[in-house]
């Protein structure tokens, strides 16, 4: 009987907490940043500005690699590197849209008049995070299907690497997009400016992907994981601190 009461109390506590958490999620969903994200999402559905260019780039990049390899066998370490090359250049082709499209259409001023800089950055970051995750999931599925050598032996480690790297990629791409949207030659400046900023992230991610393919344990890769985690935290903090200055004239 005592066990039954305790179990019932535990379940009640669980549901109460769950309801509180749902309430928190709802209040977040109602927030200004989420409204801005929804605006961008619906705008993307209508204009297909980023999705089309990302999809085309992913298909073209993977096809070029497949054609250039032909029937040859490539080393596993090279497959992991090429995986991140496709991700880097795909990100360069579509993620700048978050701010560049606002600047090109002349709607930046409108955004400045309806939201604070932190709201704008959070909304745009949310949009880029979802776009990066969707893009990289598609790349990972295509890559696994088309390259026999791309075999992940430590799946949990790969998942963690994938999540942390995607967060870093989205944060860096968003702040770089904000910087270049104010510049004249936007198209060429984006990959040029992104390369040095994303280099530590890409190099660490390539190393970690190789470890995943070799089947190494978490303990052996924890230093590299800490590097990516630090990169994410530093980029996120620096971005929020810098954005005010970038956003206003």
Partner 1 sequence: MSDYILKADSVAKNFGRRLIFRGINFEFSENGVYGISGPNGSGKSTLVKIIAGLSSPSEGKITHIHNNNEIISEKLHNYIGFVSPYLVLYEEFSAWENLEFFAHIRDVTFNKGKIETLLNDFLLYERRDDLVKTYSSGMKQRMKFIFALMHSPNLVILDEPTSNLDEEGKNTVYKIVEREGKENIVIVASNERSDLALCGETILLEKFKQ
Q: Shortest approach of partner 1 to residue 93 CB, angstroms?
A: 21
User: What mask, x for binding partner 1 by CB under 8 A, covers residues 52 to 91?
Assistant: ----------------------------------------
Residue 152 φ then ψ, to 5°: -90, 120
**The one among 106, 184, 196, 241 contacting partner 1 by CB under 8 A:** 106
Of the two residues 46 and 73, which places its CB atom closer to partner 1 in the complex? Answer: 46
Residue among 177, 72, 83 nearest 137 (CA): 83
Residue 113 binds partner 1 (CB under 8 A): yes
Residue 246 binds partner 1 (CB under 8 A): no
Residue 114 binds partner 1 (CB under 8 A): yes
Q: Which of residues 29-48 bind partner 1 (CB under 8 A)?
A: 31-32, 35-36, 38-39, 42-43, 46-47
Q: Is 154 left (phi over 0), alpha (psi -120 to 50) or beta?
A: beta
CA-to-CA separations, 153 to 62, 121, 166, 209, 215, in angstroms, rounded: 22, 37, 20, 10, 5
Residue among 137, 133, 158, 153 nearest 221 (CA): 158
Q: Taking the CA atoms of the chain, what radius of gyration do you get in angstroms?
A: 21
Residue among 45, 50, 56, 54 nearest 104 (CA): 50
Residue 216 binds partner 1 (CB under 8 A): no
Residue 241 binds partner 1 (CB under 8 A): no
Q: Shortest approach of partner 1 to residue 52 CB, angstroms?
A: 15
Residue 107 binds partner 1 (CB under 8 A): yes
Residues 104 and 97: their CA atoms lie apart, in Å, by 10
Instruction: List contacts with partner 1 (CB under 8 A).
Output: 31-32, 35-36, 38-39, 42-43, 46-47, 105-107, 109-110, 112-119, 123, 248-249
């Amino acid at each position: 009987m005592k066990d039954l009461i305790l179990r019932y109390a535990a379940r009640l506590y669980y549901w109460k907490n769950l309801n509180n958490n749902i309430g928190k999620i709802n209040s977040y969903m109602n927030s200004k940043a989420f409204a801005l994200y929804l605006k961008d999402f619906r705008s993307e559905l209508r204009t297909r500005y980023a999705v089309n260019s990302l999809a085309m780039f992913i298909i073209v990049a993977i096809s070029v690699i497949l054609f250039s390899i032909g029937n040859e066998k490539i080393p596993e370490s090279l497959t992991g590197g090429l995986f991140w090359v496709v991700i880097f250049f795909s990100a360069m082709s579509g993620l700048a849209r978050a701010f560049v499209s606002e600047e090109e259409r002349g709607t930046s001023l409108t955004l400045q008049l309806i939201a604070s800089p932190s709201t704008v950055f959070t909304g745009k970051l949310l949009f880029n995070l979802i776009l990066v995750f969707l893009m990289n999931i598609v790349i990972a599925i295509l890559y696994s299907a088309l390259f026999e050598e791309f075999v992940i032996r430590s799946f949990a480690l790969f998942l963690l690497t994938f999540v942390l790297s995607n967060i870093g990629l989205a944060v860096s791409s968003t702040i770089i997009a904000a910087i270049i949207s104010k510049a004249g030659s936007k198209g060429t400046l984006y990959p040029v400016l992104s390369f040095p900023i994303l280099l530590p992230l890409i190099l660490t991610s390539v190393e970690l992907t190789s470890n995943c393919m070799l089947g190494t344990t978490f303990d052996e890769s924890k230093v590299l994981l800490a590097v990516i985690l630090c990169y994410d935290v530093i980029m996120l903090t620096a971005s929020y601190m810098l954005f005010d200055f970038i956003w206003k004239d």
